[in-house]
């Protein structure tokens, strides 16, 4: 939060009484958006020149305070800030601060420190249990990648809408995954492996697969190598992306694309349109969003967590083909669960996914 506010807003920040033993269970991206948005409103409308953070335990909850010196606003102003869609300079989101707080089953209010002529927003958040702390530490070591929402999965082409009324159980799918040099496609990270498998008439066809390493023509980020185990030596002499994507595009022809956290992978493909002359204008289904449709109250929609909930055994994770196969198995398990909710066609699935919390979060 400090880095984001200082870089994006040019607003100095300080830490004040942050308990290093306290862990919180949050959707970090949306919470950072909310905190940055509040800081931007303070800076723009009340000429606040510095904000401070305080993080303290409160039993099974945690107090996160955003503190500033100077006047406090009215309750009506606080309410309007909570309920307006968040906008920070050139970034906008359909989410409100209240959406983010409600997502965490939390609360937010304004308090004043009259003696010190300060005020603060107090955000009440759930504390993580020791088990969840351990899981978070594993996650931070690089064994999974964060969720990205910087590609519009629902801006389908007219051709794609032709399949809207087809049953999910009857469509042909290409289930795919990519491994990459890093996590920032818009900042020069590249695809280093594409893996895909096929679903036809409700059956996984393992024999129909696509798997190819890609020379990224740039160094690998150390943190990405910890995830996928692919080394620079393995990529030396492999074809470049302008050779690989035409082959993958042909493999995926006339099918619906499926990926887990699809916005991440689709953003990489989108950024290669000009270089390759190819547009992946297929309908796209995201198993992360469909999991949120089927299990809206679950905390995690990471592929590992969904597979465990559905009783699937994970083999070969963090190779592109291995992840694609797990994603395909997850999707096949989700089809009957979606049908129980009246979601049977491609249109039904798209419209239900678009209403989920995760689909509304934007970079």
pLDDT at res. 317: 61
pLDDT at res. 227: 73
What mean pLDDT is predicted for residues 86-108? 84
Is residue 318 flagged as an active site residue?
A: yes
Of 153, 187, 4, the closest CA to residue 88 belongs to 4
Using DSSP's 3-state secondary structure scheme, residue 12 falls into: coil
Q: Please write the tens of the pLDDT for every residue from 200-238.
A: 989 999 889 999 999 999 988 766 677 788 988 899 999
Whether residue 111 contacts residue 96, with contact meaning beta carbons closer than 8 Å, is answered with no
Average pLDDT, the chain: 86
Look up residue 22 and give its two tokens. 């306290």
* Long-range CB contacts for residues 294-303, cutoff 8 Å, separation at least 24: 294/334, 294/337, 294/338, 294/341, 296/356, 299/25, 301/147, 301/358, 302/144, 303/144, 303/260, 303/261, 303/327, 303/330
Of 209, 213, 271, 279, the closest CA to residue 246 belongs to 279
Let me know if 69 is exposed, middle or buried by CB neighbors in 10 A (0-12, 13-18, 19+): middle
Of 179, 156, 151, 96, the closest CA to residue 288 belongs to 151
Whether residue 289 contacts residue 300, with contact meaning beta carbons closer than 8 Å, is answered with no
Give a three-class secondary structure readout of 337-349: HHHHCCCCEHHHH
Q: Is the pLDDT assigned to residue 149 strictly greater than 50?
A: no
pLDDT class for 316, splitting at 50, 70, 90?
low
What mean pLDDT is predicted for residues 302-306? 89
- Strand pairing of 191-200 and 107-113? unpaired
Look up residue 328 and give its two tokens. 């395909």
Query: Domain-by-domain residue ranges, the chain?
Result: 2-128, 146-360
Q: Please write the tens of the pLDDT for every residue from 244-302.
A: 999 999 999 999 999 999 988 999 999 999 999 999 999 999 999 999 999 988 878 88
What mean pLDDT is predicted for residues 33-47? 93
Whether residue 193 contacts residue 302, with contact meaning beta carbons closer than 8 Å, is answered with no
What's the CA gap between 242 and 38, in Å, rounded? 43
What mean pLDDT is predicted for residues 111-116? 87
Of residues 104, 228, 301, 318, which has the active-site annotation?
318
Least confident of 128-137, 146-155, 230-239: 128-137
Q: Is the pLDDT assigned to residue 158 strictly greater than 80?
A: no
Q: Please write the tens of the pLDDT for every residue from 171-190.
A: 999 999 999 988 778 888 89
pLDDT at res. 331: 98
What mean pLDDT is predicted for residues 2-19? 90
CATH class of 146-360: alpha beta
Residue with tokens 């239900």: 352
What mean pLDDT is predicted for residues 339-345? 97
Whether residue 357 contacts residue 288, with contact meaning beta carbons closer than 8 Å, is answered with no
pLDDT at res. 92: 76
* Residue 306 DSSP one-character state: H
Using DSSP's 3-state secondary structure scheme, residue 203 falls into: strand
CATH topology of domain 2-128: Heat Shock Protein 90 (3.30.565)
pLDDT at res. 7: 86
What DSSP string describes 233-298? Answer: HHHTTPPBHHHHHHHHHHHTTTSEEEETTHHHHHHHHHTTHHHH-----S-EEEHHHHHHHH-TT-
Instruction: State percent of the chain over pLDDT 90.
Output: 56
Whether residue 348 contacts residue 334, with contact meaning beta carbons closer than 8 Å, is answered with no
Beta strands in the chain (DSSP E): 13-18, 51-58, 61-69, 85-88, 91-96, 107-113, 118-126, 172-180, 191-200, 203-213, 256-259, 284-286
Residue with tokens 């082959």: 247
pLDDT at res. 199: 97
Whether residue 157 contacts residue 163, with contact meaning beta carbons closer than 8 Å, is answered with no
Query: How many CB atoms lie under 10 A from the CB of residue 150?
Result: 15
pLDDT at res. 134: 42
pTM of this structure: 0.65
pLDDT at res. 141: 38
Q: Is the pLDDT assigned to residue 107 strictly greater than 70?
A: yes
Using DSSP's 3-state secondary structure scheme, residue 229 falls into: coil
């Amino acid at each position: 939060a400090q880095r984001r506010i200082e870089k994006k807003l040019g607003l100095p920040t300080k830490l004040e009484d942050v308990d290093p033993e306290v862990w919180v269970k949050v959707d970090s991206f949306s919470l950072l958006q909310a905190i940055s948005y509040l800081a931007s409103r303070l800076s723009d409308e009340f000429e606040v020149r510095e904000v401070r953070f305080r993080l303290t335990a409160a039993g099974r909850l945690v107090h996160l305070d955003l503190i500033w010196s100077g006047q406090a606003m009215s309750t009506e102003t606080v309410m309007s800030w909570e309920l307006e869609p968040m906008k920070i300079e050139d970034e906008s989101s359909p989410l409100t601060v209240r959406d983010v707080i409600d997502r965490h089953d939390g609360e937010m209010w304004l308090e004043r420190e009259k003696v010190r002529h300060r005020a603060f927003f107090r955000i009440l958040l759930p504390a993580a249990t020791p088990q969840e702390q351990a899981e978070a530490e594993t996650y931070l070591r690089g064994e999974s990648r964060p969720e990205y929402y910087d590609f519009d999965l629902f801006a389908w082409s007219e051709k794609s809408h032709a399949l809207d009324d087809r049953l999910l159980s009857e469509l042909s799918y290409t289930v795919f995954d990519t491994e990459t040099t890093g996590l920032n496609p818009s900042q020069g990270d590249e695809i280093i492996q594409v893996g895909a498998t096929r679903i036809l008439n409700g059956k996984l066809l393992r024999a129909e697969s696509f798997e190819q390493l890609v020379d990224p023509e740039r160094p690998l980020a150390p943190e990405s190598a910890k995830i996928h185990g692919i080394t620079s030596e393995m990529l030396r002499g492999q074809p470049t992306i302008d050779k690989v994507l035409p082959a993958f595009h042909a493999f995926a022809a006339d099918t619906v694309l499926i990926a887990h956290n699809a916005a991440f992978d689709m953003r990489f493909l989108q950024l290669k349109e000009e270089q390759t002359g190819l547009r992946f204008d297929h309908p796209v289904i995201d198993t992360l969003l469909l999991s949120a449709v089927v299990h809206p109250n679950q905390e995690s929609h990471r592929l590992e967590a969904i597979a465990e909930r559905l009783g699937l055994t994970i083999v070969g994770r963090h190779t592109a083909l291995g992840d694609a196969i797990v994603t395909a198995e997850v999707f096949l398990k989700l089809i009957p669960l979606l049908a129980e909710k009246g979601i049977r066609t491609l249109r039904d699935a798209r419209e239900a996914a678009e209403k989920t919390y995760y689909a509304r979060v934007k970079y």
